[in-house]
Amino acid sequence: MSALSDLSFYRASSAGERYPRLQGGQRCRVAIIGGGFAGMASALSLAERGETDVCVLEAQQIGHGASGLNGGFVFGGYSLGERALLAQAGPEKGRALYQLTLEAVELIRRRIARYAIDCDKVESGILLANWFDDDAILQQQQAFMRDQLGVQWESVSRGQLREQLLSERYFGALFEKNAFHFHPLKYAQGVAAALRGHGVQVYEDSRALHISRSGSGWRVETAQGSVEAEHLLVCCGGYIEKLYPQLARAILPIATYVMATEPLGARLQDAMRTPAAVYDTRFAFDYYRPLPDTRLLWGGRISIMRKSPQQVARLLYGDMLKVYPQLAGVKVEHAWCGLMSYARHKMPQIGNLAPGLWYAMGFGGHGVGPTSAAGEVLARALTGDTQRLQQFAQWGLPWTGAGAGLLAAQLTYWYYELRDWLNE
């Protein structure tokens, strides 16, 4: 492996525009803490409804956290699996919640077109590849998606799949043709530009240090300024730290790992002959996709521990070779980790804590679609329609257990990883 860049592939391939630091006192109707997908989707959904007296505060750069570091998969669903979703919410409500994420996928498509966002969108669908030599796994999943959620995933036979993915590791797949993949940081930067076009104020390097009541509204203080607003949305995810304890105690910041190879040129065809993105049927699954410049972007694993680029590269390079040993010797040029926010129940946490105080977090490893859904839900609520917001109320903000919760999460991951291995 070659010397690794200090930047993620996304940051290295998209510097993006910079936005000013908040200076002095400001007032607006809606202040949003967090310049990731959830915060900016909320701002854009408000702006598209005519509410542009909005400001977004980002502690570092737009898309700094998980929103600009993820795998770039855009498809339906939540971190909570579909069966568990329907079991907990009931069939009717569960279907409605799942439909919100499918609508969000289409909303992202429309926004890419409407605002001419150049984000390397690849309309090639996503493959769920079967890691286990058991056809019933895919058959049952296909039937469940069709019968319970009204979603048709196409069956890909073992022979058909091996023409697309040149690996002995897989045993057929399901193909979600309405999904796509993209450069998430370029998309985040494009949404920020769209916000600016609507007149929304976007501030970078403006970490929220303190939140307090101010009359009938809220006040956010940063190192060099402050914002007073009628409504405050907290959308910090895994980077909330101690900003607002009632929210911080309800999420676990969990790391995941991603790498990108050097451009492979024709050698990519030795492994993949499809532009589709791929993940597999294990609990501890790999996820990967070919990039437009013939790199292979590869992600996987979750951990309570952040690792160095060198450690991430070693782990994921080994995972890649388990699937595609023919890629031995390719160079890894970028490797990174980012923090996701997981709730104990694995559903997004979207709600209202006090008059004028709203939140959206806990999107886990399945956040691209649900964050845009959250933006729509919150924008509706702030403009008077709370019906969709109430659909998330049953999950709430249970305490995750702090350090003990992190340890439990790691042990749970290791347990399922072992179970995957035993089932092979």
Higher pLDDT, 250 or 143: 143
Q: Which contiguous run of DSSP H or E holds residue 289? A: strand 286-290
Burial class of residue 266 (count of CB atoms within 10 Å of its CB; 0-12, 13-18, 19+): exposed
Beta-carbon-side half-sphere exposure of residue 290 (alpha carbons within 13 Å): 23
Pairing of strands 225-234, 217-221: antiparallel
Q: Find where tokens 């590849």 sit.
A: 129
Using a pLDDT cut of 70, give the percent of the chain over it: 93
Q: What tokens appear for 240 in the block?
A: 């909330």
Query: What's the pLDDT band for 338 if we cut at 50, 70, 90?
Result: confident
Query: What's the pLDDT band for 418 if we cut at 50, 70, 90?
Result: low
**pLDDT for residue 69:** 93
**pLDDT for residue 3:** 72
In the chain, % helix, strand, coil (3-state, to 5) comes to 40, 25, 40
Is 357:234 a contact under the CB 8 Å cutoff?
yes
Nearest Cα to Cα of residue 62 among 223, 189, 195: 189
Largest separation between any pair of C-alpha atoms in the chain:
66
Query: What's the pLDDT band for 375 if we cut at 50, 70, 90?
Result: very high
* Mean pLDDT, rounded, of the chain: 93
Query: What's the pLDDT band for 420 if we cut at 50, 70, 90?
Result: low
Tell me the β-bridge partners of 337.
257
Rounded CA gap, 274 and 268, in Å?
10
Kindly tell me if the per-residue pLDDT of 111 is higher than 70. Answer: yes
Q: Domains of the chain by range and CATH?
A: 9-71+185-251+344-401 (3.50.50.60)
* pLDDT, tens digit (0-9, with 9 covering 90-100), for 202-261: 999 999 999 999 999 999 999 999 999 999 999 998 788 889 889 988 888 888 899 999
Q: Once rounded to an integer, what is the mean pLDDT over residues 111-124?
A: 98
* pLDDT, tens digit (0-9, with 9 covering 90-100), for 16-42: 899 999 999 999 999 999 999 999 999
Kindly tell me if the per-residue pLDDT of 398 is higher than 70. Answer: yes
Positive or negative, the CA dihedral 66, 69, 75, 79 is: negative
Query: What's the pLDDT band for 2 if we cut at 50, 70, 90?
Result: low
**pLDDT for residue 380:** 97
Using a pLDDT cut of 90, give the percent of the chain over it: 81
**pLDDT for residue 53:** 98
Q: Can you tell me whether residue 416 is helix, strand or coil?
A: helix
Q: Find where tokens 């200076």 sit.
A: 23
Rounded CA gap, 221 and 223, in Å?
7
Rounded CA gap, 12 and 6, in Å?
9
**pLDDT for residue 364:** 85
**pLDDT for residue 266:** 96
**pLDDT for residue 411:** 64
Rounded CA gap, 374 and 360, in Å?
7
* pLDDT, tens digit (0-9, with 9 covering 90-100), for 272-315: 999 999 999 998 899 999 999 999 999 998 776 778 999 999 99
* pLDDT, tens digit (0-9, with 9 covering 90-100), for 406-416: 666 666 656 55
Rounded CA gap, 256 and 65, in Å?
12
Rounded CA gap, 62 and 126, in Å?
27
First to last CA, the chain: 29
Kindly tell me if the per-residue pLDDT of 1 is higher than 50. Answer: no
Is 70:237 a contact under the CB 8 Å cutoff?
no
Is 55:257 a contact under the CB 8 Å cutoff?
no
**pLDDT for residue 404:** 64
* pLDDT, tens digit (0-9, with 9 covering 90-100), for 51-103: 999 999 999 999 999 999 999 999 999 999 999 999 999 999 999 999 999 99
Rounded CA gap, 176 and 128, in Å?
8
Kindly tell me if the per-residue pLDDT of 367 is higher than 90. Answer: no
Degrees to nearest 5, angle at CA 385 with 384 and 389? 120
